[in-house]
Structure 1
Amino acid sequence: MILSCSLITLSLALAAEAAFGYPSRLYTWIGHPVTWIGRLIKELDRGLNRERWSFGRRRAAGVLALLLLLGITGSVAWMLQGALLPVGPAGLAILAVLAGTLIAQRSLHEHVAAVSQGLRESGLDGGRRAVSMIVGRNPQSLDEAGVARAAIESLAENFSDGIVAPAFWLGLGGLPGAALYKATNTADSMIGHRTPRHEAFGWAAARFDDLVNLPASRLTALLVIVAAALHRGASARNAWRAVRRDARQHRSPNAGWPEAAMAGALGLRLAGPRVYGNVLVEDRWMGDGRAEARAHDIERALALYRTACALLFGLATGSALVAWLIAR
């Protein structure tokens, strides 16, 4: 019964978030769950990450910070779910709306589409401005093809960790599962970097984020492959081949799966050497197609993304129906 409720919540959350997103006025008024989690991470970083401590002690402090973050976030989500589920359909609907705030289908589409629009309307400068909102690399180092590839790579990777992963953990563990995942992923993005301040303290967050993203990254690649089979001009066969050949060659244990699938499906090369700040990061290419991506390729990627999101919704709804029938 608990699993069927989680899957029903997932199905409703995906539909609600795709339809409405997160209203900008609400963000201005109260912020967003991720910003609340971010404030907690900042406080833990400020209070527990002492530069005078040894590397080992700072790593241990990072483990403690992650445990505190997960404990607080999970407890709040568990209490909310426990209060809402007994209310019935109205409580389930509210729970789905809350869970939908942890999924980013609509906002990801808008941000990536803005890059294509920027390139078409304002040329390279417009594309650079738009892509700077979604990637960490230096936009001034990117030509038009680099901007387009960066947007498509961001779409593929964020489809995995911004949509499929929270959806996976929501379906498996309800609101607490999705909230715990989102806390982990936010911690990785804030402190999981190999910088002098965070190499030790952020180690636990980075490694745990790698672990919890493993199933979703593989599922994302599968969704992109199936979506490619439904699109004229995309290749499911090449997507599958790129995943098998390239995904494990990526410097990230997870990002290579959706990026390789997207690259193969669209006949592109993604990833490869990239500049973050002033640092050149060497990475393997995903896919063996052309590197000269354009605004049109971003729009092709978005079409695949929309189909893959529909497939995810169908999978969630079908699983919810099966779980409900079994629980009867």
Structure 2
Amino acid sequence: MLVESLALVTLALVVEAAIGYPGRVYTAIGHPVTWIGALIAALDRDLNREDASPAARRMAGLLALVAILAVPGALALAVQVVLSGLGLFGLLIAAVLASSLLAQRSLFEHVAAVRDGLREGGLAGGRKAVSMIVGRNPESLDEAGVSRAAIESLAENFSDGIVAPAFWIGLGGLPGGVLYKAANTADSMIGHRTARHGAFGWAAARFDDVINLPASRLTAVLLIIAAALHPQASARKAWAAVRRDAGKHRSPNAGWPEAAMAGALGLRLAGPRTYGDAVVADAWMGDGRAEADAEDVDRALALYRTACALLIGLAALLAVTALALSR
């Protein structure tokens, strides 16, 4: 089983890097995240009663999380059982399906759009592009703020949009990846400390924190190794930033990739940020300069591409090793 799962994640990473998730497919049938999102929205509407007590809303949120995991997880398990009987052809089909749970290509394109927006449209172009990938108010960002926001998003989403689903696919096959994606989508939709979701989304937020722990650490390691392969980056400073700053982040996971990216590029990331009318006083990751620009976004993208290649290589190496040990 482990051999098949590692082979699956290796193929899925290669497929997604090559073709991404085609726009025509999205237009025709949507995306697994949109399907899971529809389930979450329905449960939020039906179970999250504003007149209930906080304890009752927490229990309702826990039951919702069980359903959010059980429904897509059961479907994925059924699909995997069917495909496992089809040999190599089934593995290839499963890899195509699993590739939809990864986001190497789309993440690169979204962050590259911020770089291009700054270069071609100045601050207005950068603000428009960055508004597509971050929740903070783009009008409050100057060029350095836009650039930092893009790089932070790249680092954090490399962890929870690529490394984490790859990690769980490698351990649990297609069901493992689907379960991760369901939990992560739940966190992004209801795992907020707001009046509506503070209690109802508590279980989803805490569960997401736990399942992202291994991937966030692995992401930092991949970025540190990638920095060692780039003459304009520093693996030593990346490691130092992770050791010094990762634990200071308000998230138990986001600080690891952000600190690694900041140290590698000689930047300061995170820090105080504005979301709507609220100011989040987060700690700085890295001790470099805060005045980032489009060239720094470009350097971050180069580091990211190398780290993605390292992830694919690691998955392939583990698959080959597991196969050898199983014989």
Q: Normalised by the shorter chain, which TM-score bucket?
A: over 0.9
**Which one-letter code corresponds to 1:304 in the other structure?**
L
CA distance in 1, matches of 2:97, 2:157: 20
TM superposition shift of 1:311: 0.2
Question: Partner residue of 1:271?
Answer: 270
Q: Tell me, yes or no, if structure 1 residue 194 matches structure 2 residue 193.
A: yes
**Which one-letter code corresponds to 2:119 in the other structure?**
R
SS in 1 for 2:282: coil
**Which one-letter code corresponds to 2:163 in the other structure?**
V
Question: Partner residue of 1:284?
Answer: 283
SS in 2 for 1:282: strand
Question: Partner residue of 1:68?
Answer: 67
CA distance in 2, matches of 1:47, 1:101: 28
Question: Partner residue of 1:215?
Answer: 214
Counterparts of 1:108-127 in structure 2 under 5 Å? 108-127=107-126
Question: Partner residue of 2:129?
Answer: 130
TM superposition shift of 1:233: 1.0
CA distance in 1, matches of 2:123, 2:140: 11
TM superposition shift of 1:327: 1.6
Question: Partner residue of 1:4?
Answer: 3
Question: Partner residue of 2:166?
Answer: 167
Question: Partner residue of 2:139?
Answer: 140
Question: Partner residue of 2:223?
Answer: 224
Moved over 2 A (4+): none
SS in 2 for 1:284: strand
Could you list the per-position Cα deviations for residues 230-281 of structure 1 after superposition, in whole angstroms to 9, with x for gaps in the alignment? 0011000000000000000000000000000000000000000000001111
TM superposition shift of 1:73: 1.3
Could you list the per-position Cα deviations for residues 191-243 of structure 1 after superposition, in whole angstroms to 9, with x for gaps in the alignment? 00011110000000000000000000000000000000000110000000000
CA distance in 2, matches of 1:85, 1:156: 34
TM superposition shift of 1:91: 0.5
CA distance in 1, matches of 2:126, 2:68: 36
TM superposition shift of 1:181: 0.4
CA distance in 1, matches of 2:224, 2:264: 7
**Which one-letter code corresponds to 1:270 in the other structure?**
L
SS in 2 for 1:273: strand
Question: Partner residue of 2:155?
Answer: 156
Could you list the per-position Cα deviations for residues 151-196 of structure 1 after superposition, in whole angstroms to 9, with x for gaps in the alignment? 0000000000000000000000101110000000000000000111
**Which one-letter code corresponds to 2:266 in the other structure?**
G
CA distance in 1, matches of 2:147, 2:82: 45
SS in 1 for 2:125: helix
Question: Partner residue of 2:102?
Answer: 103
Could you list the per-position Cα deviations for residues 96-126 of structure 1 after superposition, in whole angstroms to 9, with x for gaps in the alignment? 0000000000000000000000000000000
**Which one-letter code corresponds to 2:247 in the other structure?**
R
Moved more, 158-167 or 46-55: 46-55
CA distance in 2, matches of 1:268, 1:196: 35
**Which one-letter code corresponds to 2:19 in the other structure?**
F
**Which one-letter code corresponds to 1:190 in the other structure?**
M
TM superposition shift of 1:86: 1.1
CA distance in 2, matches of 1:95, 1:238: 40
Gaps of 5+ in 1: none
SS in 1 for 2:274: strand
CA RMSD of aligned residues (A): 0.4
**Which one-letter code corresponds to 2:314 in the other structure?**
L
Question: Partner residue of 2:53?
Answer: 54
Question: Partner residue of 2:258?
Answer: 259
TM superposition shift of 1:325: 1.3
Q: Percent identity over the alignment?
A: 72
CA distance in 1, matches of 2:84, 2:99: 16
Could you list the per-position Cα deviations for residues 276-306 of structure 1 after superposition, in whole angstroms to 9, with x for gaps in the alignment? 0011110100000000000000000000000
CA distance in 2, matches of 1:164, 1:306: 13
CA distance in 2, matches of 1:200, 1:73: 24
Gaps of 5+ in 2: none
CA distance in 2, matches of 1:148, 1:276: 16
**Which one-letter code corresponds to 2:20 in the other structure?**
G
State the TM-score, normalizing by the size of structure 2.
1.00
CA distance in 2, matches of 1:162, 1:17: 12
**Which one-letter code corresponds to 1:53 in the other structure?**
A
**Which one-letter code corresponds to 1:309 in the other structure?**
C
